[in-house]
Structure 1
Amino acid sequence: MVDINLSEAEKRYIIDGVKLGIRADGRGPLDYRELELETGVLDTANGSARVRLHRTDILVTVKMELEPPLPGRPNHGKLLFFVNCSANAAPEFEGRGGEELASRLSSVLERLYSDANAFNTAGLVVVPGKYVKAFYVDVEVLECGGNLFDVVSLGVKSALYATRTPRITITGEDGGELEFTLSDNPYDVDRLDVTNAPILITHLRISEGITIVDPTIEEEQCAPVSVVVGVAPNATICAVHLLGPGTIGPHTLKKALKGSAVLGAEIHARLIAKLKQEESIPDRRIRGFLG
């Protein structure tokens, strides 16, 4: 993650506060800060979302293309992730500095959505064995100020929820090639089912037996390891990913997983409720759904 310069005294102040149950910004161990979320921010994409959490700012766009299926998967569509850490997001991202983090984020997202229970690609087939819908999900990290994995996961699910594609009709065949017609009715669209799509909950290990969620960039500099937990809406743990060179004990890990399951289900419910609410208001904007 992004490095900042903290003195040993500043780190000790943050760590001791967490051990006493009081974080530097007054939150408890399992408290999230307020997020700002907007969908439909780009007219040029089939779906988009922008999420801001204090100094972390990401933009997610989704575009659909008709393509041949992948070899060996003739009856499945495609969901592809691409992450770019802008050089303006942090000094460490200049040149090739952000490529490792971008690759790690892409891998985690691919793992999250590879399970058919999380996202069913079988529903993306247009002509079995010939044409499927391919959804390209581009994540642009505009600013990196802590808790990046959680913010990206919320942005991806929101952008996929907001995705609309014109309904496709096969109208005939010309010279062996199928002809397609796209509906020009703005209400005649197909949507993606993200009912079971997971999100990420990051637990930063402060000391053995003590973790915190939604860490600030300052808190991230005080601990050697984080556990990133993928949580489905039904509170099922679907992925676990360790970040950093440190270790985490079985008791601490078990406690983090249990806390992630409860917190993840709550965040899912709030997110979907606000996304549905957004559809009924003119400016299509929601803010602070965790506030």
Structure 2
Amino acid sequence: MAAGFKTVEPLEYYRRFLKENCRPDGRELGEFRATTVNVGSIGTADGSALVKLGNTAVICGVKAELAVPPPDAPDKGYVVPNVDLPPLCSSRFRPGPPGEEAQAASQFIADVVENSQAVRREDLCIAPGKLAWVLYCDLICLDYDGNVLDACTFALLAALNNVQLPEVTINEETALAEVNLRKKRYLTIRTHPVATSFAVFDDTLLVVDPTGEEERLATGALTVVTDEAGRLCCLHKPGGSGLTGAKLQDCMSRAVTRHKEVKKLMDEVMKSVKPK
């Protein structure tokens, strides 16, 4: 009977749970799914991480290459993120060029990197006007069940924390780059941005960490990105229902709490792989 009602009236079925301040999967409205992270998952990458948020799984691999700095910023390197949502992760995605959702996710991650200054592009410069690092950050969703932005942000941050770059010098006689693979150093991470996503129902109710089904039923969505100082790095509101100032403040408060949870998880993982 319940299964039939859910099929015919999925939104009304869901609203009945919301009235009791719970969700069909048993979570409270402000409760996140179990979150796990593993670093160094890809042996061929310069840094990598696998993040699971409930059933949603995202893997990030970072590949570092040498390039000439851009003419308008000779003292800066590059960070190039790309999010891939392949048919492998969900039937909602189709083969071919990146769809609108994947492109929007890639732009979101690029905005997070730029606004948070997690990696300063100046830190990637080796010789001004001559040589700099390019970090290609490929994020691939392996299993999609909603809230891919939070998972991607966490996976990128964990992978960047795992990056080790070799020492590079420029030979004055030959003007060629010399790479010393025996001497490597960890990438300098300036801030730790963490994303917290919400689904909006009927302009008033907010649920955190929405599943794929909740995203489909929601009337709006919001993602708040904060750093360890509680500063707002990015606010992503792709249309839908509006939010009052009070509701937005509630989201900010929850995002600050979520940051502490994720940062603690990150610190525990990195403690086991990074030497003191």
Normalising to structure 1: TM-score of the pair?
A: 0.85
AA aligned to 2:52 is R
Deviates more, 1:201-210 or 1:124-133: 201-210
- C-alpha distance 14-97 of structure 1, shift in aligned 2 (>3 A): farther
Kindly indicate whether the alpha-carbon contact (under 8 Å) linking 2:38 and 2:50 is maintained by their aligned counterparts in 1. Answer: yes
Structure 1 runs (4+) greater than 4 angstroms displaced: none
Kindly indicate whether the alpha-carbon contact (under 8 Å) linking 2:59 and 2:141 is maintained by their aligned counterparts in 1. Answer: yes
In the aligned structure 1, how far is the partner of 2:139 from the partner of 2:274? Answer: 26
- What residue is the counterpart of 1:123 in the other structure? 123
* Secondary structure of the corresponding residue to residue 115 of structure 1: helix
- What residue is the counterpart of 2:26 in the other structure? 26
Residue deviations 1:150-183 (CA, integer Å, cap 9, x gap): 0010000001001112121334322xxx233222
- What residue is the counterpart of 1:63 in the other structure? 63
Larger RCO (alpha carbons 8 Å, 6+ apart)? 1
Kindly indicate whether the alpha-carbon contact (under 8 Å) linking 1:48 and 1:162 is maintained by their aligned counterparts in 2. Answer: yes
In the aligned structure 2, how far is the partner of 1:94 from the partner of 1:25? Answer: 27
- C-alpha distance 184-255 of structure 1, shift in aligned 2 (>3 A): closer
Deviates more, 1:153-162 or 1:16-25: 16-25
Kindly indicate whether the alpha-carbon contact (under 8 Å) linking 2:75 and 2:129 is maintained by their aligned counterparts in 1. Answer: yes
Deviates more, 1:111-120 or 1:139-148: 111-120
In the aligned structure 2, how far is the partner of 1:123 from the partner of 1:21? Answer: 47
Query: How many Å apart are 1:99 and its aligned residue?
Result: 1.5
Kindly indicate whether the alpha-carbon contact (under 8 Å) linking 1:199 and 1:230 is maintained by their aligned counterparts in 2. Answer: yes
- What residue is the counterpart of 1:289 in the other structure? none
- What residue is the counterpart of 1:41 in the other structure? 41
- What residue is the counterpart of 1:285 in the other structure? none
- What residue is the counterpart of 1:191 in the other structure? 186
In the aligned structure 2, how far is the partner of 1:116 from the partner of 1:71? Answer: 23
Query: How many Å apart are 1:40 and its aligned residue?
Result: 0.8
Residue deviations 1:23-68 (CA, integer Å, cap 9, x gap): 2222222211112321111121101111122321211110111101
Query: How many Å apart are 1:190 and its aligned residue?
Result: 2.1
Kindly indicate whether the alpha-carbon contact (under 8 Å) linking 1:79 and 1:135 is maintained by their aligned counterparts in 2. Answer: yes
- C-alpha distance 199-9 of structure 1, shift in aligned 2 (>3 A): same
* Secondary structure of the corresponding residue to residue 195 of structure 2: strand
Kindly indicate whether the alpha-carbon contact (under 8 Å) linking 2:37 and 2:269 is maintained by their aligned counterparts in 1. Answer: no
In the aligned structure 1, how far is the partner of 2:45 from the partner of 2:211? Answer: 31
- What residue is the counterpart of 1:154 in the other structure? 154
In the aligned structure 1, how far is the partner of 2:212 from the partner of 2:116? Answer: 34
- What residue is the counterpart of 1:278 in the other structure? 272
Kindly indicate whether the alpha-carbon contact (under 8 Å) linking 1:19 and 1:210 is maintained by their aligned counterparts in 2. Answer: no
Q: Give aligned-pair identity as a percent.
A: 23
* Secondary structure of the corresponding residue to residue 114 of structure 1: helix
Matched, 1:181 2:175: no
Residue deviations 1:246-286 (CA, integer Å, cap 9, x gap): 3333332232123222322x1342133223233169xxxxx
- What residue is the counterpart of 1:216 in the other structure? 211
- What residue is the counterpart of 2:242 in the other structure? 247
Residue deviations 1:195-217 (CA, integer Å, cap 9, x gap): 41312110111233321111112
Matched, 1:258 2:253: yes
- What residue is the counterpart of 1:284 in the other structure? none
AA aligned to 2:263 is A
* Secondary structure of the corresponding residue to residue 242 of structure 2: coil
Normalising to structure 2: TM-score of the pair?
A: 0.89
- C-alpha distance 276-13 of structure 1, shift in aligned 2 (>3 A): same
- What residue is the counterpart of 2:3 in the other structure? none
In the aligned structure 2, how far is the partner of 1:116 from the partner of 1:236? Answer: 9
In the aligned structure 1, how far is the partner of 2:227 from the partner of 2:20? Answer: 31
- What residue is the counterpart of 1:134 in the other structure? 134
In the aligned structure 2, how far is the partner of 1:232 from the partner of 1:52? Answer: 21
Kindly indicate whether the alpha-carbon contact (under 8 Å) linking 2:221 and 2:240 is maintained by their aligned counterparts in 1. Answer: no
AA aligned to 2:229 is N
* Secondary structure of the corresponding residue to residue 103 of structure 2: helix
In the aligned structure 1, how far is the partner of 2:164 from the partner of 2:62? Answer: 9
Kindly indicate whether the alpha-carbon contact (under 8 Å) linking 2:115 and 2:234 is maintained by their aligned counterparts in 1. Answer: no
Kindly indicate whether the alpha-carbon contact (under 8 Å) linking 2:203 and 2:241 is maintained by their aligned counterparts in 1. Answer: no
| Count, aligned residues | 270
Query: How many Å apart are 1:244 and its aligned residue?
Result: 4.8
Query: How many Å apart are 1:224 and its aligned residue?
Result: 1.5
- What residue is the counterpart of 2:223 in the other structure? 228
Residue deviations 1:54-91 (CA, integer Å, cap 9, x gap): 32121111011110111311111111111211121122
The root-mean-square deviation of aligned C-alpha atoms, in Å, is 2.1
